[in-house]
């Protein structure tokens, strides 16, 4: 159990440190930032879908005695993410940069991102309670989808009037909520089986929603054949990373 706790907290700390990547994007040319952001979005799509359908869902149905309930919880995860996006504007990969540039928007971004990271932390914690390989797979998927999001978040904060140091600090602070999420998941360690049976399907549904409604539409904005092939290759690479983690389990 101590090993599980170590891996869980180490992984979520790494996820939190991803929030610092935004500052490095400032030193790069805009074209380079866009190119690599597209790469990480593509990898994230593959990693999220691969993790859900290769790691999480098989584990969910293997340990569930009620497949209908498990299926409903996955759907609930998708619908919950939809509600959060609908009413809190949870996902914001670029649209805010063009439309919203006031201080309240920066605060909204921080709140939404903090809530998002909190749920990611719970998903990571629950995944490690199931097994270390599944926890690592979930952490990798989260990291890959956090990179483009954190670059976008940092840009939104700068455009909202925050200076670079404050934007970096606040973005890191919002990422820190993932550690709280992991801690809450691990506190329920004595009820790990019941806890994971309920939360893991909801987390899986959330990952499906992120990939399908948020990340893939971003990739669809690219129409050039060369970059489209580049994206497809990156998506497949993300999926194969998840396959490799299963084979190494």
pLDDT tens per residue, the chain (249 residues)?
Answer: 678 888 888 988 888 887 777 666 655 555 665 666 677 778 878 888 888 898 889 888 987 889 999 999 999 989 988 887 776 554 444 444 444 444 455 665 676 677 778 878 888 888 888 888 888 888 888 887 677 666 656 665 665 677 777 877 887 888 888 898 888 888 876 565 566 678 778 878 888 888 888 788 888 888 888 888 988 998 998 888 888 877 765
Contact 241/136 with Cβ under 8 angstroms? no
With respect to residue 75, please indicate whether it lies within any of the assigned structural domains. Answer: yes
- Cα torsion 223, 33, 15, 144 to 10°: value is 20
Q: Which domain holds residue 189?
A: 2-19+30-247
Total domain count for the chain? Answer: 1
Report the candidate in 203, 195, 204 with the shortest Cα–Cα distance to residue 53: 204
Helix (H, G, I), strand (E, B) or coil at 223: coil
**24 found inside a domain:** no
The backbone region for 64, taken as left when phi is positive above 0, alpha when psi lies in -120 to 50, beta otherwise, is beta
CA–CA separation, 181 and 178 (whole Å): 5
Q: Is residue 77 part of a domain?
A: yes
Closest listed residue to residue 116, CA positions, set 37, 193, 19: 19
Is 188 part of any domain?
yes
């Amino acid at each position: 159990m101590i090993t599980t706790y170590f891996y869980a907290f180490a992984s979520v700390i790494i996820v939190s440190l991803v929030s610092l990547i935004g500052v490095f994007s400032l030193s790069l040319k805009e074209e380079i930032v866009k190119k690599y952001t597209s790469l990480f979005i593509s990898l994230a799509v593959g990693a999220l879908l691969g993790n859900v359908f290769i790691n999480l869902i098989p584990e969910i149905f293997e340990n569930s005695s009620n497949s209908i309930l498990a299926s409903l919880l996955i759907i609930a995860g998708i619908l919950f993410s939809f509600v959060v996006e609908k009413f809190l504007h949870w996902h914001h990969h670029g649209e805010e940069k063009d439309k919203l540039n006031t201080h309240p928007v920066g605060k909204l971004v921080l709140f939404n991102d903090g809530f998002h990271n909190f749920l990611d932390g719970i998903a990571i914690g629950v995944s490690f309670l199931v097994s270390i390989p599944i926890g690592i797979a979930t952490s990798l998927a989260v990291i890959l989808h956090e990179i483009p999001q954190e670059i976008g978040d940092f840009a939104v904060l700068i455009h909202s009037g925050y200076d670079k140091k404050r934007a970096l600090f606040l973005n890191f602070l919002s990422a820190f909520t993932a550690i709280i999420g992991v801690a809450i998941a691990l506190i329920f360690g004595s009820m790990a089986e019941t806890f994971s049976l309920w939360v893991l399907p909801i987390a899986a549904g959330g990952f499906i929603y992120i990939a399908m409604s948020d990340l893939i539409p971003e990739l669809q904005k690219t129409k050039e054949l060369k970059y489209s092939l580049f994206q497809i290759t990156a998506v497949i690479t993300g999926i194969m990373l998840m396959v490799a983690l299963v084979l190494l389990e």
